[in-house]
Structure 1
């Protein structure tokens, strides 16, 4: 009888362990706003973020920034940490290495992928992943060029191919398109060509495999309804009559129906940070699956502040040249896939 009770107890523990196993895959994107080290790079214009600059960017502020970003990333979900993370506005591999060290969660977790781009300031996109939950099989940068603008140095798109815990192959694209500095209309052409570059890559994958799992994330510097996203990339929120090459924008509804955003400008919310997927991830019955309304924004009160005469907004590192020691001027976005 004793042995039967022991056997029953062991079986119950195994069953409980299986029930507690993580059955979701958490994807996050975060524009970390000027994650620079304190060392002058001869190849880029990083003079704004040096100890000798007006901002007096020093080691104390740098490590505070790393701690702040880590706090945000680890607060993404109460039950698990992100499995893969797209980042924008990172200077180099050094800051990524330091961020991964700061991001210890009981033990080292993340590895990173990064390539220098043509951005004059040296701010690039990057990819963090938990190797226990995502296995990278290949990665490369995709150049973005605008015809007729030889001097236009746009940031590359980072493409990562890998395997999720379900065995699903994922094609991940991390983006940071041309900013609106100089005017939204004047800079739109460069975002449109970034969208065309990305769309061509997505279509080529889907033409070979209509059931391919694509995850597109980034700071697009356009809202979900703008031309580059809605018309060129063909990322929409249609539930029916979807074309093979249509993409689904998981953050379309939260912005267009509820007015949510990831950054505040002139007291208006914009949703430049988005996660977009291919059709198969909405109907996949044997692997990763996501609900159409799953697009979320990470927004805790401690991530916000209220400048005088303005609305509550993401707390940045600097307000102009004044150091306030915040997190980022963007809020992160995330999506939880189940299986």
Structure 2
């Protein structure tokens, strides 16, 4: 049997060497997701609950701390996936972002400035004012359309997502929504061309576990259902549509929102036509994690891909492998939370309470 060895060459290229006699070159792109954890500026926005992240707020969030946070995040983003691909990620999904302005400040950091990232961002109805967004390298990815798709969830499940009651007229329905709707992050859908190939991306930050995991699970299941509807609609237009859905799902790979609502499978062999594959379930099985709570790890941050991206034909971009980015500088080295992600505290500007995740897409060069 041939032994396959990987040799990596220039930015965005790799080479497979098979039995010393045959060499194939592949284009490679890193696609990443990172929860930036409270990327707030220092300005008080009267329309959101951001008072904590101001100079006089509970976090004493000063210009100096904000600038250090930007520097820290830029370092991480520039290095995700570089163990296998010397180029920074081509596409980055992000969450816990206050506004477009903080992203503009982020991509101007020295570690990112020369990469020339573009921004796709919408303000969401989240009451804290935190949003999801996409950064992309302009020289490799060209967006053609993007939209923010709202997730409608309600207290006590009075009205399910997209469910209609013909006995309720529009005016009454609006009153019910205003009273009971839980305002959370929209799902950001982007379509574009990665070096000439059309791909779709959904960036997510699903509802939190506030009130308890079991009580709040229906909200994340609704998010998974919405994800599935978006995927289905794109696959109806193009059965071979390539899609990556990524984000902080506030659930692990084994929870109902991911396994049932979205229908993600742990093994490629289990993925049916039009199905989705979750490479992060295997990592969770091995005890790996992106977030820790009470000394228990879970993989809340995931990148899940459609069956069209795992077909064994590399004439077009396909999934190669996935990873969790856990460089030592991202990890607490002492104290009660030793070993956890190094997050912000009143005495130290850290990175995030989540580790970033990433996947590689590769294509054989002709």
Change in CA separation of 1:17 and 1:205 when aligned onto 2, cut-off 3 Å: closer
Deviation of 1:237 (Å)? 1.6
Deviation of 1:186 (Å)? 1.2
Aligned residue in 2 for 1:96:
103
**Where do residues 263-274 of structure 1 align in structure 2 (5 Å cutoff)?**
263-274=291-302
CA deviations 1:243-299 (Å, max 9, x no partner) are 22321012111112x1100011000111000000000111143211113xx120000
Of the three residues 138, 147, 153, the one matched with 2:183 is: 153
Change in CA separation of 1:273 and 1:19 when aligned onto 2, cut-off 3 Å: closer
Of the three residues 265, 287, 307, the one matched with 1:259 is: 287
CA deviations 1:105-154 (Å, max 9, x no partner) are 46251110110111000000010001101000000000001252633102
Q: Which 5+ residue runs of structure 1 have no aligned equivalent?
A: 1-14
How far apart, in 2, do the equivalents of 1:19 and 1:146 lie?
Answer: 44
Aligned residue in 2 for 1:25:
29
Would you say 1:41 and 2:45 are equivalent positions? yes
Tell me, yes or no, if the aligned pair for 2:275 and 2:306 is still in contact at 8 Å.
yes
How far apart, in 2, do the equivalents of 1:16 and 1:90 lie?
Answer: 33
- When structure 1 is superposed on structure 2, of 67-76 and 245-254 the one drifting more is 245-254
Aligned residue in 2 for 1:168:
197
Of the three residues 268, 271, 275, the one matched with 1:242 is: 271
In the superposition, the TM-score normalised over structure 1's length comes to: 0.89
How far apart, in 1, do the equivalents of 2:318 and 2:127 lie?
Answer: 39
Aligned residue in 2 for 1:10:
none
SS in 2 for 1:118: coil
Deviation of 1:16 (Å)? 9.1
CA deviations 1:45-84 (Å, max 9, x no partner) are 1001000112110100000000000011111114111000
How far apart, in 2, do the equivalents of 1:242 and 1:68 lie?
Answer: 38
Tell me, yes or no, if the aligned pair for 1:267 and 1:311 is still in contact at 8 Å.
no
Aligned residue in 2 for 1:328:
352
How far apart, in 2, do the equivalents of 1:298 and 1:175 lie?
Answer: 19
Would you say 1:198 and 2:227 are equivalent positions? yes
SS in 1 for 2:305: strand
Q: Which 5+ residue runs of structure 2 have no aligned equivalent?
A: 1-8, 15-24, 160-179
Would you say 1:279 and 2:307 are equivalent positions? yes
Change in CA separation of 1:207 and 1:90 when aligned onto 2, cut-off 3 Å: same
How far apart, in 2, do the equivalents of 1:61 and 1:17 lie?
Answer: 33
Change in CA separation of 1:66 and 1:22 when aligned onto 2, cut-off 3 Å: farther
In the superposition, the TM-score normalised over structure 2's length comes to: 0.83
Q: Number of paired residues?
A: 318
Write out the 4+ residue segments of structure 1 that deviate beyond 4 Å after TM superposition: 15-22, 103-106
SS in 2 for 1:32: strand
